[in-house]
C-alpha cells in the first residue's frame, strides 16, 4: 500500500507539533484503542489520522474517528464509558461520541446521509497500521473516497480530500470496487473524476481510462432515457441544509426509503441539529 511522505515543513516546527500530537495520542486516544482491542471489538481508524497516512497532508487532530459495524456501536460506547469517556449516541442512524475533556472520539457506523453504511467490506479491505506500537486497521481508501464524495455542505466540502486521495493513491485503487460502492450514485463519482482532471491536468493518468469511458457512456445513455416521472432531489445526499427549499417545492427527498436508507424521523433529527454540533 502506498503511503505519501509528509510534506516538507520547518524541521523545528514539525518536531514540536509531532511531540504535542504524540502526547494527545498517548493520553487520550491510545487508551481508547487499547480498550477496544482488549474487548476484541472490531474497529477501523479513519478521519484526519488516516488521511495523513494516505496523502502526507497533516491536519490539526481535533478528534479521532473510529468506524464500527452498526451492531457494535453501543458496545464500543459502553467500553469507552468504562475507561472514563462521556459517551452518547448522538445520532442513532450514524454516529456516537465519546468525550474526554477537550478531546473526543467519533464512533461512526454510517454516513450522515445514510449511504455509506459500515459493513464487512470495510474490514475485509482494511489497511494494517501501527499506532504507537499497537496494531490497528485503517479504513480502506475506496470507502474513504466513497464517504467523502458526498460531503458538500456550505461549511464543509470534502472534494479537495477526494482529489488529494486520487492524486496520492489513484493508481493503487480497486476502481471496480469503488464503482460498485457508488452504485446508482455513479454520476457523483464521475463529477469528482472530472474535477480531478481540472485540478491536476498533468496527473490525469492516475485515473484509468476504462473507468472514464464507462462513466461517460453511462452518462450518454442516461441523457436519452425517459425523464423521471416523479421529481426527486439527490442534493440532500450532499447537503442536509442547502436543498431543504427543494423539498418544500415538492421534490422527493432521496435520503428517504425506498430510494434512500433513512426514515423521516432520522432526517428530521439530522435537520434539527444543523449548526448545533461541535
Q: What is the pLDDT of residues 27-54, one digit of tens each?
A: 789 999 999 999 999 999 999 999 999 9
Mean pLDDT rounded to a whole number for the chain: 91
Residues above pLDDT 70, as percent of the chain: 90
Predicted TM-score (pTM) of the model is 0.91
Placement of cell 456501536 in the chain? 73
**How far apart are the C-alpha atoms of 21 and 37, rounded to whole Å?**
22
**How far apart are the C-alpha atoms of 83 and 22, rounded to whole Å?**
20
Q: Which three cell numbers stand for residue 2?
A: 502506498
Q: Is residue 254 within 8 Å of 234, Cβ to Cβ?
A: yes
Instruction: Give the rounded distance of the alpha carbon of 193 from its chain centre.
Output: 17
pLDDT band at 66, cuts 50/70/90? Answer: very high
Query: Looking at residue 63, what is its pLDDT?
Result: 85
Helix, strand, coil abundance in the chain, percent, nearest 5: 50, 15, 35
Reply yes or no on whether the pLDDT at 2 is more than 80. no
State pLDDT tens for residues 180-198.
Answer: 999 999 999 999 999 999 9
What mean pLDDT do residues 6-17 have?
51
State pLDDT tens for residues 78-112.
Answer: 999 999 999 999 999 999 999 988 889 999 999 99
Query: Looking at residue 276, what is its pLDDT?
Result: 77
Reply yes or no on whether the pLDDT at 18 is more than 80. no
State pLDDT tens for residues 113-133.
Answer: 999 999 999 999 999 999 989
Query: Looking at residue 109, what is its pLDDT?
Result: 98
Q: Which tops the pLDDT comparison, 152 or 100?
A: 152
**How far apart are the C-alpha atoms of 56 and 208, rounded to whole Å?**
23
Residue spans in the chain of domains classed CATH 3.30.460? 1-139
Query: Looking at residue 12, what is its pLDDT?
Result: 45
State pLDDT tens for residues 222-249.
Answer: 887 776 678 999 999 999 999 999 999 9
CATH code for residues 1-139: 3.30.460
Query: Looking at residue 13, what is its pLDDT?
Result: 44
Amino acid at each position: 500500500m502506498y503511503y505519501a511522505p509528509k510534506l516538507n515543513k520547518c524541521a523545528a516546527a514539525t518536531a514540536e507539533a509531532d511531540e504535542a500530537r504524540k502526547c494527545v495520542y498517548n493520553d487520550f486516544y491510545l487508551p481508547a484503542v487499547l480498550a477496544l482491542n482488549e474487548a476484541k471489538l472490531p474497529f477501523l481508524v479513519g478521519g484526519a489520522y488516516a488521511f495523513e497516512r494516505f496523502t502526507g497532508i497533516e491536519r490539526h487532530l481535533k478528534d479521532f474517528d473510529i468506524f464500527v459495524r452498526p451492531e457494535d456501536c453501543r458496545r464500543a460506547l459502553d467500553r469507552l464509558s468504562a475507561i472514563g469517556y462521556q459517551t452518547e449516541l448522538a445520532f442513532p442512524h450514524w454516529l456516537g461520541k465519546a468525550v474526554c475533556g477537550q478531546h473526543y472520539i467519533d464512533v461512526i457506523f454510517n454516513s450522515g446521509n445514510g449511504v455509506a453504511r459500515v459493513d464487512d467490506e470495510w474490514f475485509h479491505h482494511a489497511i494494517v497500521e501501527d499506532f504507537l506500537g499497537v496494531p490497528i486497521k485503517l479504513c480502506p481508501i475506496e470507502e474513504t473516497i466513497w464517504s467523502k464524495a458526498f460531503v458538500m455542505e456550505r461549511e464543509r466540502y470534502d472534494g479537495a480530500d477526494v482529489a488529494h486521495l486520487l492524486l496520492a493513491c489513484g493508481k493503487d485503487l480497486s476502481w471496480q470496487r469503488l464503482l460498485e460502492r457508488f452504485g446508482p450514485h455513479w454520476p457523483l463519482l464521475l463529477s469528482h473524476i472530472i474535477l480531478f482532471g481540472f485540478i491536476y491536468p498533468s496527473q490525469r493518468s492516475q485515473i484509468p481510462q476504462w473507468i472514464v469511458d464507462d462513466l461517460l457512456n453511462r452518462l450518454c445513455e442516461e441523457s436519452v432515457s425517459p425523464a423521471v416521472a416523479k421529481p426527486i432531489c439527490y442534493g440532500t445526499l450532499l447537503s442536509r441544509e442547502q436543498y431543504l427549499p427543494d423539498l418544500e417545492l415538492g421534490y422527493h427527498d432521496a435520503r428517504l426509503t425506498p430510494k434512500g436508507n433513512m426514515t423521516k424521523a432520522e432526517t428530521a433529527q439530522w435537520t434539527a441539529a444543523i449548526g448545533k454540533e461541535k
